Amino acid sequence: MKTANQDIKPISRKINEQGNIEIGGCDLVDLANEYGTPLYVFDEATIRSITNSYKDAFKEYQNMRMMFASKAFMTKAICKIMEQEGFGLDLCSGGEIYTAHSAGFDMSKTMFNGNNKTYEELSMAIEYGIGTISVDNFFELALLNSIAESNNKNIRILLRITPGIECHTHEYIQTGHLDSKFGFDLTQIDEAIELIKEEYKNLELIGLHAHIGSQIFEKQVYFDEVSVLFKEMRRIKDTHGIELTEVNLGGGLGIKYTQNDKPISVYEIAQTIIDAIKLNTKKYELKEPFVFIEPGRSIVGTAGVTIYTAGSSKQVPDGRRYQAVDGGMSDNARPSLYQAEYTVEVANKPNETETEKITIAGKHCESGDILAKDITLPIIEEGDVICFYNTGAYGYSMSSNYNRVLKAAAVLVNNGKSDIIINRQTYEQLCESDVIPDRLN
């Protein structure tokens, strides 16, 4: 069964009577006029469609919770949607913890993950009652136990491991192979468990956590991951007499940025994971554990688009034609970082037949600030509204104030209604943290 991550465009996208692109019943040109650009636009129907696909696909295995990987796109409004859909939250920083808590999210349904959690972040996690902490390294084990002890708390933990599985994806987003900054190597697990048993009395080890990468198009890697984790759980039971009851398989399901991308469906990975759990539970004579899945990109990626207003253009003699927009690497760093490719349309003339090959350039003082290279679009004029699809994940999350450009606004659209979920930054807000020392006055 096809799921939303296999489409390039939000499920509500259509061309309206005015000949403009419409998402969530809202004309993108009207949104540009009302809220300004650059503007992130999120289709609520697409978000809820994919969350429901996850729940339906995994319904055969009831002992499970979906945890939205908040790093993909974290706002209070998204927290509310995830809460309504029955998802937990995978959190990676103090800022994400604070956002979830301030949104009124049930913190017992959250997990704190990351490779260099600070004293302040771990203290905040404990204070706010976070459900589980995935411990990444020996330094963190000692630090977390010290904080827990001083607060007279017992903390449920998972050990994050590197399972030694490589995905056919971009090198920078492979996190499950052995040469990784994340997690314990399998050869370090015994030492970590002995420390927990003998010294770290305020830590309760309940399971293992692994994450094998991002933008994954393969089923087999999920099967292999489950096999590695369950084999290790059996070994831990035999060696240490501890029967682990929880396992976090991470996320990583890919989405369709361009026609060349061929992501698998939620149902395909669900069946693979369920089959692997059943087979390995029987093989290693284990009780079926409580399983966590951490989808992020596949939840919000396809749901989000970014719209820009076309500005200046340049024709290089006997070379490229550049079309500049009013945003760029400050609102979407992925093309510069990963050479990421996107599908692009002109929102106010999607059906124009006269086309040209152009390169969409950002407005920043970097030659590498290119959003899309050598693509074919209708002939663009100043003031046209340009739409980039599949920017819902890691667009706003990785945004910056480079060149002191203001951060863009975000709206949630549904049934013809649009609501601000992130206000556009103001120049006053941009400068509010600046300080001029007295000696400079």
* Dist. CA 29–CA 347, nearest whole Å: 7
pTM of the model: 0.95
Phi, psi dihedrals of residue 91, rounded to the nearest 5°: -115, 145
The domain at 4-42+302-431 falls in which architecture?
Beta Barrel (2.40)
Could you give the strand order of the β-sheet that contains 14-15, starting from the edge strand earlier in sequence? 14-15, 21-23, 26-27
* Dist. CA 107–CA 23, nearest whole Å: 33
DSSP-based three-state secondary structure for 361? strand
Residues serving a catalytic function are: 365
Q: Where are the domains of the chain?
A: 4-42+302-431, 44-300
What is residue 434's predicted lDDT score, i.e. its pLDDT? Answer: 97
User: 4-42+302-431 and 44-300 share one CATH topology?
Assistant: no
- Residues in the chain, pLDDT under 50: 169-176
**Cβ-contact 77, 70 below 8 angstroms:** no
What is residue 173's predicted lDDT score, i.e. its pLDDT? Answer: 41
Q: At what angle do helices 189-198 and 220-240 cross, to 10 degrees?
A: 50
**Residues contacting 235, CB < 8 A, separation 6+:** none
Please report where in the chains the tokens 């260099």 appear, as a residue. 116
**Cβ-contact 87, 51 below 8 angstroms:** yes
What is residue 168's predicted lDDT score, i.e. its pLDDT? Answer: 52
**Cβ-contact 240, 233 below 8 angstroms:** no
What is residue 178's predicted lDDT score, i.e. its pLDDT? Answer: 62
Q: Which of 431, 390, 432 is nearest to 73 (CA)?
A: 390
**Cβ-contact 369, 298 below 8 angstroms:** no
Q: What is the pLDDT of residues 277-319, one digit of tens each?
A: 999 999 999 999 999 999 999 999 999 999 999 999 999 998 8
Element (H, E) at 159: strand 155-162
What is residue 182's predicted lDDT score, i.e. its pLDDT? Answer: 80
Q: Which residues pair with 387 in a beta bridge?
A: 307, 345
**Cβ-contact 310, 348 below 8 angstroms:** no
* Dist. CA 45–CA 81, nearest whole Å: 11
The CATH code belonging to domain 44-300 is 3.20.20.10
